[in-house]
Structure 1
Amino acid sequence: MTSSKPSDATVTSPQQPYYHPLPAEAHNHNDPPQPPPQYIYLLPRYYNNDNGNSPPFLSRKCQRRLICLIPLLLILGLAVFLLWPSDPEISVVRLRLDHFRIHTFPKISLDLTLDLTIKIRNRDFFSIDYKSLIVSVGYRGKQLGYVTSDHGHVKARASSYINATLQLDGVEILSDVFPLIEDLTKGEITFDSVTKIGGQLGLIFFEVPLEAKVSCEISVNTHNQTIERQNCYPE
C-alpha cells in the first residue's frame, strides 16, 4: 500500500525575487590592491576672537563705534565750514564827483576829486582788524593817484562803512595825451578806480591775513562834470 504523503523531492521551492544583485566587479588577482577612496569635505572657516583673529565683517562693538563716530564727523565738518575764515566783501555804495577840470596849458593835466563810501561786510564769526584801505584812480590802466585811510575794526557778522576822498591836483598825463584829447572831443572820459583792503582775522591764538578788492569803471561827462555811469565789481 502506497503512502499518500508527498515526498520531499516534490516540495515546491520558495518564490524567487524579482531582482538580481549586480555582479561584482571583476577583479584580477594579479592586479595590485586599490587604495580606499578619499573624500574632501569643505567647511566654513570658524573665527575665534580669543585667538586674535578678526572676522571679515565688523563686530557689533566696531559697528557701535562707527555709528557714534559719524555724527561727530558731521558736526566737525559743519564747524569747519562755519568757522573757516573768508575774505570780507567790499562794495562801493556811493560815488560822487566833486571836482573835475582839464588843463591844457602849459601842460595837459587834470584835477579830480572823488568822494566814495565803502561798505565792508564781515561774513565770519570772528572780528576783522584791517590795517588800511587804499583807493586809487587811473586812466587807461595807468595809476594817477591814490588815498589811504586809517586802520579800523569790523565786528563779527557785521558791516562797516568808510568814507574816503580822493583828490588829484594838476596830475600830468604824458603818455596818453592823444587818447585824452580824443575823449575830450567825445565829451566823455572813463576812469578806473580800485579799492583794496588788507587786514587780519581776530582769532585768539593766531592771525589769518585777509584781503579784498573791488574795481569800478567811472565815465565822466566833461561838459557838465558829472558821472554818467559807473560799474563796480569785486575781484
Structure 2
Amino acid sequence: MIPKPNPSLYTPLPPEPTYVVLQFYHPPNHHPYLRRTLISISLLLLIFTIVFLLFPSDPHLQLVRVKLNHVRVNSSPHLSLDLSLSLLVKVFNPDLFSLNFDSLAVTIAYRGRELGFVESNGGRVKARGSSYVNATVVVDGFEVLHDFFYLVEDVAAGKVPFDTVSLIRGEIGLFFVKIPIQAKVSCEVDVNPKDQTIVHQNCYPE
C-alpha cells in the first residue's frame, strides 16, 4: 500500500515572475534645425539693416528763398529782357556718410527757353546734416523776339512765368568706394514786372 503524500510537507513554488518591458519614445531632436533657421533669419535681418542704413541715397534739395533783384523789359533797340534772381537752396544729406558736392548749377527759363545759367562753388555736407547754398542768376539783354506776343501778354497781366532748375552733383565715400549721386529740384516762379515782386512759387523735386 502506497502512502499518501502529506501536503504539509511540501512548500509551494512561488509563482513565475511577470516581466514588463517599458519602451521609452524619444522624439526627434529638432533643436539644431530650429537653431540654424533662427540664425539664418537673424543674419538676413542684419544684412538688410546694414544695407538700408549704409546704402547711399540722393540728397534732398529745397528752394528755401527766391529773391527778385530786378526785372525789366526793354523795347529799344530790340525787345529784350533783363532779369536777376537770387536763390537760397538747402541741401540735406540723409546718409550716414558725409557728402562732397562739386557745384550747384541753376538755370532759368521762360516758356521753355533757357535764359541764363549760373554755377556756384562746391562744398561738404556732414552725415544727416544740411547746408545752404546761394546762387544768383543774372540775365542781361536776352532777346525775346520769338516770344514777343507771350511776353507782352504776361507783362500786361502782371505775371511773367519763369522756370528754375537747381542741380547738384557730388559723391559719397562709402568705405573705400566713391559713389556718385545727384539731386534736382524744379520751381515755377511768377514775377510781377511792375512792382518787382514774386506772385507765385511752386517747387517739386525730380
TM-score normalised by length of structure 2: 0.83
Equivalent position of 1:126 in the other structure: 97
Distance 2:50 2:61 in 1: 25
Match of 1:61 among 25, 32, 43: 32
Secondary structure, aligned partner of 1:207 = strand
DSSP 3-state at the match of 1:123: coil
**Residue aligned with 2:164, SS:** strand
Instruction: For 2:149 and 2:79, locate their aligned partners in 1 and report how far apart those are by CA, in whole Å.
Output: 10
Q: What are the Cα deviations for residues 69-98 of structure 1, in whole angstroms up to 9, with x where unaligned? A: 211211111111111111000001111001
The reply on whether 1:92 has 2:40 as its aligned counterpart is no
Q: Percent identity?
A: 49
Inter-partner Cα distance in structure 1 for 2:137 and 2:173? 29
Distance (whole Å) between structure 1 residues aligned to residue 71 and residue 156 of structure 2: 16
Structure possessing the higher radius of gyration over alpha carbons: 1
Residue in structure 2 matched with residue 198 of structure 1 by the alignment: 169
Q: Is the 8 A contact 2:68 2:86 kept in 1?
A: yes
Say whether residues 1:187 and 2:158 are aligned partners: yes
Structure 2 segments unaligned to the other structure (5+ residues): 1-27
Query: 1:178 aligned to 2:149?
Result: yes
| TM-score, normalised relative to structure 1 | 0.73
Q: CA deviation at 1:61?
A: 2.5
- Return the alpha-carbon distance in structure 2 between the equivalents of residues 63 and 227 of structure 1: 66
Q: Which residue of 2 aligns with 1:154?
A: 125
Q: Give the 3-state SS of the residue equivalent to 2:42 in structure 1.
A: helix
Q: Which runs of 5+ in 1 are unaligned?
A: 1-56
Question: Shift in Å at residue 58 of structure 1?
Answer: 8.9
Structure-2 separation of matches of 1:204 and 1:79: 13
Structure of higher RCO (CA pairs closer than 8 Å, 6+ residues apart):
2
Question: How far off its partner does 1:209 sit?
Answer: 1.2
Over aligned residues, Cα RMSD in angstroms? 1.5
Hey, what does 1:136 align to over in structure 2? Answer: 107
Flag the 1:216–1:58 CA change in 2: closer, same or farther, 3 A.
Answer: farther
The structure that is strand-richer by fraction is: 2
Map of 1:212 onto structure 2:
183
